[in-house]
Amino acid sequence: MTSVGGGTKFIAEVADNHGGDMNLAKEFIRVLASVGVDYVKFQSWQMERVRDPSAEPHYDWLKKAELTDEQHLALKEECEKRGVKFLTTVFDPHRVDFIASLGLESIKIGSAEVSNHALLAKVKTYFSHIILSTGMHTGDEVAAAASILDGTRFTLLHCVSIYPHPVSKANLSRMLWLQRFTPSVGFSDHSVGTEASKMAVVLGADYVERHTALSPNGPGRVNPWDTTPDQWEELIRYRELVVSAWGQEDSPFSDEERQARARFIGRWSK
**Residue 175, Cβ neighbours under 10 Å: how many?**
20
Q: How far apart are CA 202 and CA 121, in angstroms?
A: 33
Domain boundaries, the chain: 9-269
pLDDT at position 269 is 54
Query: Which amino acid is located at 56 in the chain?
Result: E
Low-confidence ranges of the chain (pLDDT < 50): none
- Single out the residue of 177, 106, 125, 117 nearest to residue 148, CA to CA: 117
Biggest CA-to-CA distance, the chain? 87
SS3 string of the chain?
Answer: CCCCCCCCEEEEECCCCCCCCHHHHHHHHHHHHHHCCCEEEEEECCHHHHCCHHHCCCHHHHHHCCCCHHHHHHHHHHHHHHCCEEEEEECCHHHHHHHHHCCCCEEEECHHHCCCHHHHHHHHHHCCEEEEECCCCCHHHHHHHHHHHCCCEEEEEEECCCCCECHHHCCCCHHHHHCCCCCCEEEEECECCCHHHHHHHHHCCCEEEEEECCCCCCCCCCCCCCECHHHHHHHHHHHHHHHHHHCCCCCCCCHHHHHHHHHHCCHHHC
Assess contact for 186 and 206: CB atoms under 8 A: yes
pLDDT at position 3 is 60
pLDDT at position 161 is 93
pLDDT at position 54 is 74
Taking only the tens place, the pLDDT of each residue in 28-79 is: 999 999 999 999 999 999 888 877 777 888 889 899 999 999 999 999 999 9
Q: How far apart are CA 198 and CA 236, in angstroms?
A: 10
First to last CA, the chain: 49
Q: How far apart are CA 33 and CA 27, in angstroms?
A: 10
Assess contact for 121 and 102: CB atoms under 8 A: no
Q: Which fold has domain 9-269?
A: TIM Barrel (3.20.20)
pLDDT at position 264 is 85
